[in-house]
Amino acid sequence: DVKVTQSSRYLVKRTGEKVFLECVQDMDHENMFWYRQDPGLGLRLIYFSYDVKMKEKGDIPEGYSVSREKKERFSLILESASTNQTSMYLCASSLGGLAGGSYEQYFGPGTRLTVT
Amino acid sequence: QQPVQSPQAVILREGEDAVINCSSSKALYSVHWYRQKHGEAPVFLMILLKGGEQKGHDKISASFNEKKQQSSLYLTASQLSYSGTYFCGTEGTGTYKYIFGTGTRLKVLA
C-alpha cells in the first residue's frame, strides 16, 4: 500500500514563527502536492513538485514556500506564520510527473495547524 | 477558478441513488473524484480522461462530457459507507495543475 505520512497531526504555533510541515511518501512517486483545506472552500493547491528540486505554484502560494531535496520528501514552510494560516494541511503524491493527470493522488492524514 | 459542484449537500436513505455534478469553465484534460470521511484523508474513487479512458472502482460510475467540461458521479443503491464529502478535481489541458471543487456533503441514513 502507498503510504504518505505527515510529520504531525496537530501543531500549535505562535504568530511570526517559522513553521515546517514535512511529508514523506514511500512509493517512488514523481509528484507531490501541498493543499490546505478550509470549511466551505474545499482543497486548495498551495504548491506542487513534479521532480526533485522542481516546484510549481498552485492557487494560493502567498506566505508559503516549499523544498524538495529528495524524491520521497516534500516540505512546506511558513516563513512567518499568521493567524489566517490556521488550517488543515494535506500532502499528496502521485505518479506521472507532468503527465500526472492520469494518475490518482494518495493523501496523507493531514496536519491541523493552529496559529495563535 | 474552482470547478462548481452540485448539489452542495444531499441526504439519502439506504438504497437510493444520487448524482453529483462537477462543472468547469475551462477545457479539461482529466477529472478526478475523491471521497473524504470526517477526520480522514480523501480517498481516490475515479479518474476520467479526455478521450474516454476511465480508471477507478468497479462499484462507482461516472461520466465526462468533454465539450461541456462537466463530469457526473453516479452513486447507485447507496450504502451507509457512502457518507462523506465528495470532491472533484480537475486538470486543465496544458496546465499540469489540479483544482478541486468545494465538495458535496452526502449523508446516507438507515
For residue B98, list chain A residues with Cβ-Cβ distance below 8 A.
33, 45, 48, 101, 105
CATH number, domain at B41? 2.60.40.10
Q: 3-state DSSP call for residue A83? A: helix
Give the tens place of pLDDT for each residue, A34-81.
Answer: 999 999 899 999 999 988 999 999 989 999 999 999 999 999 999 999
Q: Are the beta carbons of A75 and A21 closer than 8 angstroms? A: yes
Torsion angle (degrees, nearest 10) of CA B33, B39, B41, B43: -40
Q: Would you give per-residue pLDDT tens digits along chain B (110 residues)? A: 789 999 999 999 999 999 999 999 888 888 999 999 998 999 999 999 888 878 887 678 999 998 999 999 999 999 999 999 999 998 877 666 778 999 999 999 99
Domains located in chain A, CATH noted: 13-96 (2.60.40.10)
| Range list of β-strands (E), B1-110 | 4-6, 9-13, 18-23, 28-36, 43-49, 54-56, 61-65, 70-75, 84-92, 98-100, 104-109
Backbone conformation region of residue A115, classed left if phi is above 0, alpha if psi is from -120 to 50, else beta:
beta
Q: Number of folded domains in chain B?
A: 1
Euclidean distance between CA atoms A74 and A93, whole angstroms = 10
Grid-cell match 504548491, residue found: A47
Kindly state whether B97 is in contact with chain A, defined as any CB-CB distance less than 8 angstroms.
Answer: yes
Question: Quick one: cell of B62?
Answer: 461516472
B residues 14..73 contacting A (CB < 8 A)? 29-30, 32, 34, 40-44, 47, 49, 53, 55
- Give A21's strand partners: A76
Domain limits for position B76: 4-109
